[in-house]
Homo-oligomer: A and B are copies of this chain.
Amino acid sequence: MRKLFKATLLLLTAIQITSAQSVDYNSYNLMPWPKEINLGQAEFIVKEDFTVSIPKESTKRLRAAATRFLRRLSGRTGVFFEKGFPQQKENTPSLIINVKRRGKLAIEENESYTLNISVNNIMLESETDIGAIRGLETLLQLATPKKDHFYLPELVIRDSPRFPWRGLMIDVARHYQPIEVLKRNLDAMAAVKLNVFHWHLTDDQGFRIESKSHPKLHELGSDGQYYTQEEIKEIVQYAADRGIRVVPELDVPGHASAILTAYPELGSKKDTKYNIERYAGVFDPTLDPTNEKTYELLSDLFKEVASLFPDPYVHIGGDENEGKHWDENPEIMAFKKKHGFESNHDLQTYFNLRLQKILEKLDKKLVGWEEIMTPDMPTSAVIHSWRGVEEGLQPGESLIIAAKKGHYSILSTGYYIDRMHDIAHHYLVDPLPKSSDLTKEEQKKVLGGEVTMWGELVTPLTIDSRIWPRTAAIAERFWSPASVVDITHMRKRLSVISFRLEELGLTHLKNRNVILRNIANGYDIDALIKLAKVCQPLQKYSRNKGGTEYKSYSPFTLFADACTTDAPDAFKFDERVNTFVVNPKMSKKLLEPMLHQWVENHEGLLELNGKTPLVSELLELSSALKDISAFFLKVLKQEGVSKVDSNEFMKLMTKVKEPYADVEIVAYGTFMKLFTYLKKNEL
């Protein structure tokens, strides 16, 4: 390899990106960014004769991964490869994959790889086939177009993850997600080197596992929407083929409406008819921890789960049990007294410890949401930290406490993507911030983190657009060195990673227009697209509280479902305003087209209105955007802001701030910034 520049990532900061080698590094949209990358100047050109060799004693997993790699590289480059399958006896292969052994799906497993691209060939070397699978994804991200060909840049990458537990949780209870949704998300997870799929399988709104020991569970608790055991095995295999562990969650003793719909006799409130819950929220139905039959059922169930999921970890939930039905039940109260339990928390500890024993017999370790961390809980239990400011706690507080106590722990606070925060918000949350005072030994207890996709407001149509692309950036947090924190660089890479995920069937980009076509009833959707690009769904959980209250069967085909976080035109406008306030004379003409567009767009929406009833509620948004845009156009033209304008502005901004149709205009802050500048500078 010639002329290699050394520039390991630990040194790569925002400043260095703009330095001499910046052009090169900026050409490659790697995510997660590798631990160490040394870039050369030559190119390996992708041509018809491209071949891949795999070891003679290759695992089926590696062979399948190499075949998928060939399909994706061919599909992306349009090059017709002569050999469509990896070879085991190839004379001069283009890509040589060397692997020492089959990888285990375990926390301690080696996922590192080395990638060495030269003009004539590519070496991918790793201890395990899982490492090679990670490296193949890096290689695909490196395929770069020029005018006449795609090439892979000369380089050496030495890469390994910062955290061993890099997860995505998908809640399939609030809305069932068919296995093809899970499969494409597993593909996307593998593309960004995530390695744990946490499958939230039961909740008040549905019990989604076929139980052979207690079939009433899925028959009565799922509206017919559950995974057969064959399907579960298929997903576990599909994940394993991509080096992804699957951790199942059965959320108990709370969140139990669906279980109790099938087995009301195990509920803490007696003689009640339980029903599958249709709303979102925290509900009272809770398993009776004093009933031995509860443990009999759970014992049978965990036995089935243990045989379906080879992973050593099982998640028992354990969150948000407020114990209302326990307090109301005299027998449970008596039980507490008899056992000397002072609080419901003690009673839940008793319950958790019973479960812990059941799981121990099955050779499984327990994971639970942070509420399970009580003094008696053995440190073998993994603590899943989730509460934060909204729950009156410091974010990640429980993670630190758990590590100090000697528990393994994983962080989800800060990664609640269903709250619809923008990407920068999540990207900077670190499971092990520099500020933490953990010892080195304690730091090792922090296994990593999990993105949580709660399912109240998502269906198969929209779920991808909530998970992606933001989860790719969070995956970088879990994999890459802590020093990789340049938001501008991340955003630039993320925009490429995002559309590349489409090759795996992800629908986050393409389904927006599907929703808008439905709203427009087949008429032109341009005006809707333009409005959607500056709006976002209400953040946190205000979508489902403030205005509409959603049931599981409510329509999720609305304008809010077509909008995403990080609204692109709002972001673009903000960037332009930032340029403007630095150099108003030169960049005024950047602002005006966007403002004009928003003024004109209202006409387009008015035209649609009248053809379909789904547009009328958007007119308020669109008209607020039009009015404020017209205001700024007037001000920019007059080149001055009078006192009258100031009052007019505040009146208009009141309208801009107002949410409609469960969305809000994101540019509020930018408008404020622009106005403040204009007023101060009286241009």
Contact = CB atoms under 8 A, between A and B. Distances in A.
Contacts of A514: 502, 509-510
A147 interface: yes
A652 interface: no
B522 A80 contact: no
A503 B555 CA distance: 12
B557 A75 contact: yes
Given A80-B548, A613-B146, A502 B518 contact: yes
A433 interface: no
B553 A613 contact: no
A376 interface: no
Contacts of A496: 522
A147 B610 contact: yes
Contacts of A522: 495-496, 499-500
A55 interface: no
A137 to B, nearest CB: 17
Given A71-B553, A147-B612, 14 more contacts: A75-B518, A77-B614, A78-B519, A79-B555, A85-B223, A85-B553, A147-B610, A147-B616, A148-B613, A178-B180, A228-B230, A499-B517, A500-B522, A509-B514
A278 interface: yes
A78 B614 contact: yes
A147 B609 contact: yes
A495 B556 CA distance: 24
Contacts of A147: 609-613, 616
A interface, how many residues as a size bin? Answer: 35 or more
A145 B71 contact: no
A74 B613 contact: no
Contacts of A511: 510
A382 interface: no
Contact of A521 (B145, B223, B557): B145
B557 A84 contact: no
A550 B82 CA distance: 11
A505 interface: yes
Given A510-B511, A522-B495, A611 B145 contact: yes
A546 B550 CA distance: 56
A81 B148 CA distance: 55
A460 B613 contact: no
A640 interface: no
A521 B27 CA distance: 13
A518 B505 contact: no
A224 interface: yes
Nearest to A503: B518
6 contacts: A76-B557, A80-B554, A80-B555, A145-B614, A499-B517, A510-B511
The 7 residue pairs across chains A and B that have the minimum distance between CB atoms = A84-B553, A180-B180, A510-B510, A145-B612, A75-B557, A74-B555, A230-B230
User: Max chain B CB contacts within 10 Å: which of A80, A548, A551?
Assistant: A80
Nearest to A549: B80
Interface in A549-568: 550-558
A565 B514 CA distance: 21
Contacts of A550: 80
A302 interface: no
Nearest to A558: B78
A64 interface: yes
A513 interface: yes
A84 B551 contact: yes
B505 A224 contact: no
A149 interface: yes
A535 interface: no
Interface string A112-155: 00000000000000000000000000000000011111100000
Contacts of A180: 178-180
Contacts of A614: 77-78, 145
